[in-house]
Structure 1
């Protein structure tokens, strides 16, 4: 009878072990995580239940044999000189009775008998297993999708919450926020959706996979899928600008002169571009040939409008575009859409003028220069107009230009030219004296006059900003002096600097600041020499990196 009970108990134990392994296999398959992770979670749960029985201070380890499912419980005791807590420590004399090689700091494993879990212990163990499996599942999702940033994924709409769309990606969930949806696009449960993975974050509630259908790179990836030449690298997409759901511009260039990049992207009877347009809910797409010449590129970007003339200001990254009067509305587009997208595409600020507006502005500038010369040089209107028409814009140009250049103007002899230059210099000396007096009145230190490039007009501008000493000037940045530009959401905001109206370049401002810092003792000539030695090395590193990128 006793033998029969023993066999029955052994069969039950074997069945429990087998069931444990079957559960681990089922959970691993369902959650797509390693079986070892599930078994480790179960072992943690058993350890927690065992501590509640043998004491929470006990250091208990549970091992599950991955082949047989056998559970082995052990209490780890630290080997110490003199034990104070026998539930966690063992004196070295007793430890050496069990293991002659035991040393201080080692752990002795004390086997524990198998235990039956009570209801509370089982519930607690279940919570630990669920938590561990959920953490493993989150880690698996994060590891899988973090490397897919920049890719297009397909999924099914799972639910819509407050305008945000939750997408089932099969082995994870993504979210398309309301502002990442194409306007007027409605999605319902069960709809198939394609989106661009632009960010994956590890957050408290699990990995968050952020999707977008408005991101410019979504369009780039769609064209890459539709146009084999882009996928193969024969055609490059240089830049993209989108007004999601309405209109977009995409600049392309071919590395093979025999292939037309625009034609390849359009496809036979527009088949390729229409596939992209259909995915983007009818968004109109202008495919534009890219050019290394900014003026040509901007003219192309403003299509379908025709451009009569362009004037570039490379320092300010601004460009003036002159269009025929009847082309103005086409160039600007509805609510400024065409010029805004062209600006985003090219990275330049674009000012659009009609031919009439440009003519009026040129006339205004001509009249202002004429008036300036009449007042500064005490000449009549005709002489002022002649000087303005010859391209002179400032009195300084007349004061310091070669005398022969003035004398070469028709109707001007050497005596007249000499008189004009003398009056120009006298006028500048008078202005300089007035500005110097104002500088002193503002309390700007004389030592600032030693900085090469700073004139009295600049010193007055500094004084009005409260910059009065070498130390004050040394603490300035180039942005403080010449201003800076910020781009956000396709719009450009310009911030003025102290010298914004004085035609000072950023390089000149930086050179003057360096002089001030040398004079103030903030840096030394050795520091400058060391910095100049390091800069070529950095440039070389950048070139190597760029070359590696191109190879990739």
Structure 2
């Protein structure tokens, strides 16, 4: 059968659009079918269920009308009786659809214009879907493109198969782009929106620098060297922590390269951003000391529960450790994930002296002893009256100038003091209206009950309704700084796990949940034949 010119032209148009928009040819043909169906309805009636099919090989268009088989006709444009349907298809049943061939027709100008709009819309939707599917899997990659235009400080990048945006706040400070410039950036988000897929790029994202190092350092690409963390002050300074899986390869040296060639290539791309390459360590203290380079560190004190660390530096190194406008310590904190407090040796000595005096005064007041005894107990490392009350008497007796009688007397006074405090706190607990039932929750002390009462937690149900953050507080980062929000039990050195256990126990007491069943003991292993009595072997 000969193929007419207009049919060939239809297929050629479909092929051309598919190539130009980088979409599937079948999607273009389907959109043409939808457009022709819409035009056919204007010819045969809007109620008519018209179907148009384009032969993908010949370009021939066939029209058919779908009719629903029913017992009683309500609308003859879309319904057909069972008797009529069986004349066309003897196997027809009520509820089936029967296709009836329609004669071809000539499109009018309005119908053709309407069809064109449908095709353009469908092709545009297919193109947007193709772009989204392509770039949603490229989040975390670096892409190259040409600057198409600059709008209100935002840079629009032509990626060849789509457009992307670098927002003004995602650009390195004082960086300027002009139309026609080539640009490299990091894909950090792809969203499907009404106006099409939006691809968002960044040149300030920490992972942009990590990916640049991956391109410049073959060992990182081959996963011999691993980038553990990155912290950036875009356009000014950055720190990157690296570790080598191969003991024979120095991770810092590999990233620096011969005469600094590798790191310089990254610096040039980042508009002269100074980069400190830090060897990563699984030991938090060592890693933090490395991260504070070039400052020297004398001593570190870690508080793992609150993820804080105190760093002591020589007096002349304080400004170097903090950096200009706090930049060095801020980047080190971001790199390690720890909140870092920096003290000079003089400040640390002054603080220790202050704590020593405070503890001495506490012991003098609580135990009714003179200053010399209070100083002796504080210098031995005792931090509270509770520690004195429950330490082994023999340990107290070993303190210089103490004997067993002195140790016993001090412990007796400590117990009396704690009993007095306990009675005062219990009276305060009753005054606040905290129920006795709350005391039955494991881990809850009388001092905690007072704090609960002051925060309006007075029953087991009140405690069961609390979140862990309510008890121990939480930390959030604002403008690069950590802000600590106090919990009800601040100062009790309660871990997150202990707080969670306390709340879950309260929920069991309140009847909200059932207690977890205790694990069954493992059955004893059967005795091996060789170990049976009298040396007998049974079968």
Structure 1 position 261 matched with structure 2 position 261? no
Give 1:387-398 correspondences, 5 Å limit.
387-398=377-388
- TM value normalised by structure 2: 0.93
- Which residue matches 2:403? 413
- Which residue matches 1:494? 484
Structure 1 position 463 matched with structure 2 position 453? yes
- Which residue matches 1:365? 355
Question: SS state of the match for residue 187, structure 1?
Answer: coil
Question: SS state of the match for residue 252, structure 1?
Answer: strand
Structure 1 position 230 matched with structure 2 position 220? yes
Give 1:239-388 correspondences, 5 Å limit.
239-388=229-378
Structure 1 position 475 matched with structure 2 position 429? no
Distance 2:407 2:22 in 1: 90
- TM value normalised by structure 1: 0.91
Cα 1:40–1:462 change in 2 (3 A) is: same
Distance 2:507 2:110 in 1: 73
- Which residue matches 2:536? none
Distance 2:252 2:342 in 1: 26
Deviations 1:104-135 (A, max 9, x none): 22222222222111111111011001001101
Distance 2:454 2:91 in 1: 83
Give 1:46-85 correspondences, 5 Å limit.
46-85=36-75
Greater CA deviation, 257-266 or 410-419?
Answer: 410-419
Distance 1:442 1:98 in 2: 88
- Which residue matches 2:114? 124
- Which residue matches 2:173? 183
What's the CA shift for 1:516?
Answer: 2.4
Gaps in structure 1 of 5+ consecutive residues: 1-9, 534-552
Cα 1:109–1:511 change in 2 (3 A) is: closer
- Please provide the CA RMSD for this pair: 1.8
State the aligned residue count: 521
Greater CA deviation, 44-53 or 467-476?
Answer: 467-476
- Which residue matches 1:216? 206
Structure 1 position 43 matched with structure 2 position 29? no
Cα 1:140–1:513 change in 2 (3 A) is: closer
Distance 2:57 2:161 in 1: 28
What's the CA shift for 1:453?
Answer: 2.8
Question: SS state of the match for residue 508, structure 1?
Answer: helix
Cα 1:64–1:510 change in 2 (3 A) is: closer
Cα 1:350–1:52 change in 2 (3 A) is: same
Question: SS state of the match for residue 4, structure 2?
Answer: helix
Distance 1:392 1:98 in 2: 101
What's the CA shift for 1:476?
Answer: 2.1
Distance 1:125 1:373 in 2: 92
Distance 2:143 2:132 in 1: 15
Distance 2:59 2:459 in 1: 81
What's the CA shift for 1:474?
Answer: 2.3
Question: SS state of the match for residue 147, structure 1?
Answer: helix
* Bigger proportion of residues as helix: 1
